[in-house]
Amino acid sequence: MARMNTREKLAQLFGVWVGIDAAGEMAPHQHDFAIEPGDWDRLVGSGIGQLTRVFGTRPVEPLIGARGLARTQREVMAASRFGIPAQVHEECLTGLAAWRATVYPSPLCWGASFDPALVERMGVHIGRSMRRLGVHQGMAPVLDVARDLRWGRIEETIAEDPHLVGTIGSAYVRGLESAGVVATLKHFAGYSASKAGRNLAPVSIGARELADVLLPPFEMALRAGARSVMNAYTDNDGVPAAADPELLTTRLREVYGFDGTVVADYFSVSFLRTLHGVAGTRAEAAAQALSAGIDVELPTVDCFGAPLLLALESGEADLALVDRALERVLRQKCELGLLDPGWSPDPEVLSDGHADLDDDESRAVARALAERSIVLLRNEDVLPLAPGKRLAVIGPRADDPGAMFGCYSFPMHVGVHHPDVPLGIEVRTVLDALGADHDVTHALGCPVEGGEDAGIADAVKVAADAELAVVVLGDRAGLFGGGTSGEGCDATDLRLPGRQEELLEAVLDTGTPVVLVLLSGRPYELSRQADRLAAIVCGFFPGEEGGVALANVLSGRANPSGRLPVSFPAAGVNQPATYLAAPLATRSEVSTVDPTALFPFGHGLSYAPLTWGEATGDAEWATDGVFEVSVPLRNDSDRASSEVVQVYLHDPVAECVLPVQRLIAAARVDLAPGEARTVRIGLHADLTCYTGRAGHRQVDPGEVELRIGASSTDIRTTLAPVLTGPRRFVGFDRVLSPEIS
């Protein structure tokens, strides 16, 4: 650092997105910030901090992309005095966002699996693919807790519960980081609480909601070893996260002890000027972001280049803050080996020429996670399907490979802008997969949005001639209005998009039993049809193996074992409430609106439910001790089965208003036919803490309830231990997770 001039220092603090001008709409306002022709030669001479989306901007053969990356890295190293390579980042929310790479299930599916070990395995596979291609940093996981189901990015969230988000998100971090790839936590913090569920709308939550609901997943994932954090786009009570030193420095650095890099969400430094109006010039925006604690401007240089240089020369920005950010950036490059003597810019894939990004092992993990995540919401003894049954498979999601993918998957994020390029991976639709075992007829019925009456009439004819109708409905993932779910695709209500509800009603009117399969990015309001449906199966966006996984569940080859990570709303389609409700947010006599969920958080049925014994617990629970819960389970069926034992905390008297109940432990248990096991869950008293009136987390003495069950409403046993001892104040070093055996 001492030998670098100011321009060379600044060059390490921004990314460059080559090809942004030719890319489809993948980030808000991206074409406002495309680098000018000729800028590359000027930029590369001082070095470059990061290269943005080398593989995830357009379809490119993996080997060709790797050779191009090696060539670019050599240019970067040769042009600058110190030969420092660029750090390369890619999106990786549902797998590496590259052509021909495995597309794994969406984060809602991770949450539905309640299986951190399997999510960690997925993270390992994603990380290995990235390292082989020369990618160093992944822009995942999303740790925003779902707050308003109308928000378009619900599909990117893991759950509406902070404990589940933190547990599953931490598993992903461990997997990705174990492969040597930097995991980037996003979006820090508050983004998912934007007003009315509108993307990038203001956030007006209180300090307690921030501390007790939105921040714990980040705390858990930082403990898991994440080395990067990305700021939220939004402002919280008028202060944009990108310009908030209390959030990015005081809390993240000084309280949490984070020593990695903070990278700007795409264009968020520029947005301080163009969208938030807290900076008048690019130089002011750069000075504010740098002072707040942002180390790297992404995806491409706008404010941290010449404007920041001007701010330094005028005294508006402090060179010491540049050095602070630079040290973090260079230390991370050291950790990645980029400054080792003899480091080669040639990605590993070039040494063996083996560029299969969708191998059998990766597909097997994708299939296992997809099957684990499928939730059986209702079943009136029609599932599993009898072999050879005459089926009508109807709906806009039945025969479209894109129905399996979320908005940050390569096919929906990039591939849609290149319709002449093949998908690059093998994907079986629900229609394809069911057709292997059954006599199937098909009708579209209607598209996801819009459609003519004739399509619905055709579907009615097909359904009337079948023994059973499988109606496959849901979302089309997209960006900024290009879909019904995804970033910038917010909903005004929670009815199924387009004419899909009309189609469902028409098929129900035929009298043929109907199985509804949902492939969606959010829960939808089904209260008008639920009690008339023979079965309801939810897959969210289950990835490239989703069609096979759904067919396996519907046919009974796989036993459904997913549990809802988000509640399904009942009547009242504009009620954004989640299960984390204070007493006044639940059903009451003083309001005509009933927010009770149609299908609650944690709900999920099985073809072979396990037999529960009576849960038992310790006699005492010290305010600094561990309370052990034991839950005996037995499989009395003739098939393998699974259960998720869920422990909810109810604190009847607290210093502040708390949710009626909240999840503090969840244990997935798999049992073979005839097998019995006892689950033991050690609950440290720290798990009962909340933010008190003084603004500190506290563990209070007194009676609490532990509600142990199969969902947030299906409680099998309630224990009432008394916490004894003094009130304790706890911080970032508190116990965040239970011990499960």
**pLDDT of 585:** 86
Residue 166: pLDDT over 60: yes
Residue 485: pLDDT over 90: yes
- Longest Cα–Cα distance of the chain, Å, equals 79
Q: What letter represents residue 195's amino acid?
A: K
**What percent of the chain lies above the pLDDT cut of 70?**
97
Element (H, E) at 722: strand 722-724
For the four alpha carbons of 569, 572, 574 and 575, in that order, the dihedral sign comes to negative
Name residue, tokens 């449906």.
Answer: 533
**pLDDT of 376:** 98
Determine the average pLDDT of the residues in 194-219.
Answer: 95
Q: DSSP labels for 659-721?
A: -S-EEEEEEEEEE-TT-EEEEEEEEEGGGG-EE-TTSSEEE--EE-EEEEESSSS-EEEEE--
**pLDDT of 573:** 59
**pLDDT of 453:** 79
**pLDDT of 548:** 98
**pLDDT of 28:** 63
CB 348, CB 132: distance < 8 Å: yes
Determine the average pLDDT of the residues in 296-300.
Answer: 96
Element (H, E) at 335: helix 319-335
Determine the average pLDDT of the residues in 73-87.
Answer: 95
Query: Is residue 20 very low, low, confident or very high in pLDDT (cuts 50, 70, 90)?
Result: low
Query: Is residue 560 very low, low, confident or very high in pLDDT (cuts 50, 70, 90)?
Result: very high
Determine the average pLDDT of the residues in 68-76.
Answer: 96
Residue 30: pLDDT over 60: no
Helix, strand, or coil (residue 632)? strand
Residue 5: pLDDT over 80: yes
**pLDDT of 119:** 98
**pLDDT of 19:** 72
Give the Cα separation of 371 and 559 in Å (integer).
8
| Tokens matching residue 463 | 């359904």
Residue 24: pLDDT over 60: no
Residue 282: pLDDT over 60: yes
Q: Which of 654, 619, 667, 629 is nearest to 727 (CA)?
A: 654
**What percent of the chain lies above the pLDDT cut of 90?**
91
Say how many C-beta atoms besides its own lie within 10 A of residue 509's C-beta. 12
Query: Beta strand 228-231 with 235-236: parallel, antiparallel or unpaired?
Result: unpaired
3-state secondary structure 125-146: HHHHHHHHCCCCEECCCECCCC
**pLDDT of 23:** 57
Determine the average pLDDT of the residues in 157-168.
Answer: 98
Helices (H), 515-591: 546-555
Backbone angles phi, psi at 115, to 5 degrees: -130, 80
Residue 698: pLDDT over 70: yes
Give the Cα separation of 704 and 726 in Å (integer).
15
Q: DSSP labels for 425-492?
A: S----HHHHHHTTSEEEEE--S-SS---HHHHHHHHHHHHTSSEEEEEEE--B-STTSSSBSTT---S
Residue 452: pLDDT over 80: no
Query: Is residue 588 very low, low, confident or very high in pLDDT (cuts 50, 70, 90)?
Result: confident
**pLDDT of 569:** 92
Query: Is residue 26 very low, low, confident or very high in pLDDT (cuts 50, 70, 90)?
Result: low
The three-point CA angle 509-515-521 to 5° equals 110
Determine the average pLDDT of the residues in 157-171.
Answer: 98
Give the Cα separation of 582 and 699 in Å (integer).
19
Query: Is residue 29 very low, low, confident or very high in pLDDT (cuts 50, 70, 90)?
Result: low
Q: What letter represents residue 97's amino acid?
A: A
Instruction: Give me the chain's average pLDDT, please.
Output: 95
pLDDT in tens, 210-232: 999 999 999 999 999 999 999 99
**pLDDT of 303:** 96
**pLDDT of 513:** 98
The reply to whether omega before 141 is within 30° of 0 (cis) is: yes
pTM above 0.95, yes or no: yes
Residue 43: pLDDT over 70: yes
The reply to whether omega before 299 is within 30° of 0 (cis) is: yes
pLDDT in tens, 625-665: 999 999 999 999 999 999 999 999 999 999 999 999 999 99
Determine the average pLDDT of the residues in 497-513.
Answer: 97
pLDDT in tens, 109-158: 999 999 999 999 999 999 999 999 999 999 999 999 999 999 999 999 99
pLDDT in tens, 525-556: 999 999 999 999 999 999 999 999 999 999 99
Determine the average pLDDT of the residues in 613-628.
Answer: 96
**pLDDT of 34:** 55
Give the Cα separation of 24 and 44 in Å (integer).
25
- What is the strand order of the sheet 390-394 is part of? 375-379, 535-538, 514-519, 468-474, 390-394, 439-443
What single-letter DSSP state applies at residue 402? G
For the four alpha carbons of 704, 565, 148 and 734, in that order, the dihedral sign comes to positive
